[in-house]
Amino acid sequence: MSPGTATGHVVAEEVLRARAYLMRLAEPPAPRLGHLVALLGPVEAAERIRGGADLGRHVSSEVSGRRDVDRAEADLEAVRALGGRLLVPEDPGWPAAAMASFEAPDLVGHADWVAPLGLWVRGPGSLAEHADGAHRSVAVVGSRAATGYGKWVARGWSASLADDGVAVVSGAAHGIDGEAHRGCLAAGGATVAVLACGVERAYPAAHARLLATIAERGAVVSEYPVGAVPARHRFLVRNRLVAALATATLVVEAGVRSGAARTATVARELGRVVMAVPGPVSSALSVGSHHLARQPGVGLVGSVEHVLEDIGPAGRFAVPPPRPRGPLDGLSTPAVRVHGALRGSATSTAATLAREAGVDPRVVPAALDELAAAGLVVPDGEWGWCRPV
């Protein structure tokens, strides 16, 4: 097996080193850095940052704190010592279709919901197969302080989903997450655990054996390098990956403000199937599920058969409803960012727009041409641009 891949495809070592450096450099999510990498490629982006190039204040704000920290070689060696790998977009095993969901026009510019620069992975599980392929997958999420009822649903339904060939994705936390993984494993199914820390770390500690089993039979995944510790904000950030790596999200139990509710929100924005399990109206842990079930496009499910129906080829949500088209739909990412940097009817130069949008100045002329063709910007004077009156 070649470095950095479970598919036999050789990813250039310089690409792996560059992405490993960039992933430790900025705390996820890092939309400005991600945009720079998309424009220049990981190797050139890493070289410019290492070389002290002026990247504009937006990118600098994301990388300045760790600009001199280069542990790429050590991070790659550490994950390989665990039998793991760094999965990158240049690898055919990358879940490209799932991650492309973050590029939907109405998500561009959303600071929290951006694709990762790469994923550290332990285990033989194929993320591309679970997230992009013909095999279905469900993110089963819910409260850490789950009731007996919630645990029964999470474990039993996950086992039944596994029996039907459906992979289960969750966050390995106490409560619903842990029961979902256990149910799937008990049925011999494929399960993916997405962590908010390094993939070598057993968090919570009580789930050390569970995570070891997942690493043997499924996949333990994180965008944080080996040695990274869990932190509150990292749990919120990783929830977007739980939603993205599954074709549907099932909320078993959740408070009105919870990580599970956030995961469901991301899943809806990504165009995924979202379902909620009803519970006792007297239970605080059912409030979030019931609130979610009242949202447009969310399915209320009372059995595994309902779940399979909704995620199946003929399910109600098998094809996500079309998104309303907006004026920025179909534009390139640089054009969208440059448009967002325009300030009302005020005149801006190309240099100012590049700085405010956090894009390479070389792409601004093409972005302005694209916006002008769409009627979204007009020249103002010899060097200026503004929105049409």
SS (H, E, C) 135-204: CCEEEEECCCCCCHHHHHHHHHHHHHHHHCCCEEEECCCCCHHHHHHHHHHHCCCCEEEECCCCCCCCCC
Whether 23 is covered by a domain: the verdict is yes
Distance CA 354, CA 263 (A): 33
Q: Are 223 and 296 part of one and the same domain?
A: yes
Contact 340, 109 (CB under 8 A): yes
Same domain, 313 and 337: no
What interhelical angle do 350-357 and 333-341 show, nearest 10? 110
In the listed set 317, 342, 358, which residue is the last one of a domain according to the structure?
317
For residue range 182-204, what is the model confidence (pLDDT) as tens digits?
999 999 999 999 999 999 999 99
275 alpha-carbon distance from chain centroid: 19
Residue 317 is predicted with a pLDDT of 42
Q: Are residues 181 and 134 in the same domain?
A: yes
DSSP label at residue 11: P
Q: Locate tokens 């972005």: which residue? A: 367
Residue 350, in any domain of the structure: yes
Residues 220 and 270 in one domain: yes
Q: Does 295 lie in the same domain as 162?
A: yes
Whether residue 108 is contained in a domain is answered as no
Number of structural domains the chain divides into:
3
Same-domain status, 171 and 143: yes
pLDDT at position 53 is: 83
* 283 shares its domain with 370: no
Residue closest to 190 by CA, chosen among 171, 209, 216? 216
Residues 85 and 178 in one domain: no
Work out the number of other CB atoms within 10 angstroms of the CB of residue 101: 21
Q: Which domain holds residue 343?
A: 333-386
Which residues, in sequence order, are CB contacts of 79 under 8 Å at separation 6+? 85, 86, 120, 122, 199, 200, 225, 226
Residue 94, classed as helix, strand or coil, is coil
Token duo for residue 250: 């099932």
pTM of the model as a whole: 0.78
- Looking at the structure, tell me whether residues 176 and 305 fall in a common domain: yes
- Examine residue 328 and state whether it is found in any structural domain, yes or no: no
Mark whether 234 and 355 lie in a shared domain.
no
Q: Is residue 68 part of a domain?
A: yes
Q: Same structural domain for residues 306 and 158?
A: yes
The string of pLDDT tens digits covering residues 103-150 is 765 555 555 678 999 999 999 999 988 776 556 899 999 999 999 999
Tell me: pLDDT of 365 over 50.
yes
> For 23-67, how does the pLDDT look when each residue is reduced to its tens digit (9 = 90+)?
999 889 888 899 899 989 999 999 999 888 877 777 888 887 787
Domain check: are 296 and 359 in the same one?
no
